[in-house]
Amino acid sequence: MIERRGEVRQESLDMIYSFIRRAIKERATDVHWEPYVESGKPEMVIRFRIDGMLKDMERFSEDKTRLGSVVNAIKIMASMDPTQKRFEQDGRFTVSIDNVDYDIRISAMPTILGEKIVMRLMDRKRYCMSLADLGMSKEVLDIVNPIIYKPEGFVIISGPTGSGKTTSLYSILQHIYSRDKNICTIEDPVEVKFVGINQIQVDHDFGMTFVKGLRAIMRQDPNVIAVGEMRDAETVRTALQAALVGAMVFSTVHAKDAINTIVRLLDMGVEPFFISTALTGIVSQRLLRLVCKICKGKGCMQCANTGFRRRTGLFEVLKINDIIRQLILRRASADELRAAAAEQGMLSFATSVEPLIAQGVTTREEIDRILAVE
Ligand SMILES: [Zn+2]
């Protein structure tokens, strides 16, 4: 069941495997194995992240579970050095459960109480969703579809950490995939491997940066390029250049909404001319918790008494037109841009949420909560 066994205790393996199985069943995205001390007694707590929220699943006293041997086993399975406990390490392994392969990414970090492990469960299905399943409404799709199918252009997906940007990026690539296109990505890290897509992993040890990878891709006769995340001006400039010489480029930026995405690029030091010439659209997003359908939000076993179960994407889409281009060119303020975008009919978060509240699928408090995240 688990590909790499190495020198590990069966008892530890059974425990790891049972929590992974349980995490998959409960739709958890992350499993935390955390040293924990309360009133001087060493323990280990296992927490799952479900629908974006961490939840304590179980707590063990250390002698019962032999925390060290579990951590050791996870590190061996993930091809990490188990003897090295003083610095952070990362690795990955694959498990097959009910004939589905799950890539599991592992991070180990030394805390003052001992090593803490976080497992990220990479469920390939989660990254190949239809755009409608991501939560894109007909109104959103009417704007998004014409932009992403163009032979050239530049589309940015923005949002805070954990807003589902990578899922959207991968799903869009799957959506526009065809054998007559050369699709290349440069990612840090490659989260999920796809058939028929040329994925490059950023590797600082070998000098493979976003910029270097992008320049290499541009010499590879590309049609579609995806840049994992743009964090600096040089990466943005290079990606914009790729769009200007005739590729369709997709990337993600950490920004709270569509207008702030433009402001963020300008603040990075990217020339307004570059942005206004190449940028064609911005999709900004959040993941919104849905009211539990079983208990109608009162709280039940199925939703762990939170009143919420499952999530959907909430989107804001800005198509860049000549009016917005002119404003970018003269470095207009966020307020000016926002007013013009509203006038041009930008589908904003504010307009997207109204039908959801009217239908009772989420709550005003949940929307306020996710929109406050920057
Ligand atoms: Zn419920």
Q: How far is the CA of 313 from the centre of ligand 1 (A)?
A: 20
Question: What confidence category does residue 65 fall into, taking pLDDT thresholds of 50, 70 and 90?
Answer: low
Question: With pLDDT > 70 as the criterion, what percentage of the chain qualifies?
Answer: 97
Q: How far is the CA of 351 from the centre of ligand 1 (A)?
A: 27
How open is the CA angle 186-279-355, to the nearest 5 degrees? 95
Quick one: pLDDT at residue 5? 45
Helix (H, G, I), strand (E, B) or coil at 288: strand
Q: Which of 17-26, 48-57, 126-135, 365-374 has the lowest mean pLDDT?
A: 126-135
Q: How far is the CA of 359 from the centre of ligand 1 (A)?
A: 17
Q: Which of 125-139, 312-326, 360-374 has the lowest mean pLDDT?
A: 125-139
pTM over 0.75? The answer is yes
Q: Is 316 exposed, middle or buried (0-12, 13-18, 19+ CB in 10 A)?
A: buried
pLDDT at 97 over 60: yes
Q: Is 18 exposed, middle or buried (0-12, 13-18, 19+ CB in 10 A)?
A: exposed
Q: How far is the CA of 30 from the centre of ligand 1 (A)?
A: 21
Quick one: pLDDT at residue 305? 86
Pull the structure tokens for residue 342.
């509203």
Residue 369 contacts by C-beta under 8 Å, 6 or more apart in sequence? none
Q: How far is the CA of 291 from the centre of ligand 1 (A)?
A: 8
**Full set of structural domains in the chain with CATH:** 10-123 (3.30.450.90), 128-372 (3.40.50.300)
Q: How far is the CA of 305 from the centre of ligand 1 (A)?
A: 6
Angstrom distances, CA of residue 346 to CA of 113, 290, 319, 322: 50, 24, 7, 14
pLDDT tens-digit profile of 143-193? 999 999 999 999 999 999 989 999 999 999 999 999 999 999 999 988 888
pLDDT at 244 over 60: yes
Question: Average model confidence (pLDDT) for the chain?
Answer: 92
Q: How far is the CA of 231 from the centre of ligand 1 (A)?
A: 39
The residue to which tokens 């250390």 are assigned: 62
Quick one: pLDDT at residue 91? 93
- What are the two backbone dihedrals, phi and then psi, of residue 185, each rounded to the nearest 5 degrees? -130, 155
Pull the structure tokens for residue 308.
């919420």
Q: How far is the CA of 166 from the centre of ligand 1 (A)?
A: 28
Regarding predicted confidence, which is higher, 86 or 283? 283
Q: How far is the CA of 104 from the centre of ligand 1 (A)?
A: 29
Question: In this structure, how many other beta carbons lie within 10 angstroms of the beta carbon of residue 144?
Answer: 22
pLDDT tens-digit profile of 115-127? 999 999 987 777 7
Q: How far is the CA of 165 from the centre of ligand 1 (A)?
A: 27
pLDDT at 1 over 60: no
Give the Cα separation of 152 and 280 in Å (integer): 9
pLDDT at 4 over 80: no
Q: How far is the CA of 374 from the centre of ligand 1 (A)?
A: 28
Q: What is the DSSP letter of 75?
A: H
Q: How far is the CA of 72 from the centre of ligand 1 (A)?
A: 37
The residue to which tokens 């975008």 are assigned: 341
Give the Cα separation of 66 and 50 in Å (integer): 26
Mean pLDDT of 293-306: 90
Q: How far is the CA of 310 from the centre of ligand 1 (A)?
A: 11
Q: What is the DSSP letter of 2?
A: B
Q: How far is the CA of 300 from the centre of ligand 1 (A)?
A: 4
Q: How far is the CA of 288 from the centre of ligand 1 (A)?
A: 16
pLDDT at 243 over 80: yes
Q: How far is the CA of 284 from the centre of ligand 1 (A)?
A: 29
Q: How far is the CA of 234 from the centre of ligand 1 (A)?
A: 47
Q: How far is the CA of 103 from the centre of ligand 1 (A)?
A: 29
Q: How far is the CA of 186 from the centre of ligand 1 (A)?
A: 40
Contact (Cβ atoms closer than 8 angstroms) between residue 325 and residue 268:
no
pLDDT at 67 over 80: no
Q: How far is the CA of 294 from the centre of ligand 1 (A)?
A: 5
Q: Secondary structure of the chain: what % helix, strand, coil (to 5)?
A: 40, 30, 30
Quick one: pLDDT at residue 8? 79
Question: With pLDDT > 90 as the criterion, what percentage of the chain qualifies?
Answer: 78
How open is the CA angle 131-137-139, to the nearest 5 degrees? 120
Q: How far is the CA of 311 from the centre of ligand 1 (A)?
A: 13
Kindly report whether the peptide bond that precedes residue 160 is cis, defined as omega within 30 degrees of 0.
Answer: no
pLDDT at 214 over 90: yes
Pull the structure tokens for residue 344.
């041009």
Helix (H) or strand (E) segment spanning residue 185: strand 183-187
Q: How far is the CA of 120 from the centre of ligand 1 (A)?
A: 25
Mean pLDDT of 247-257: 97
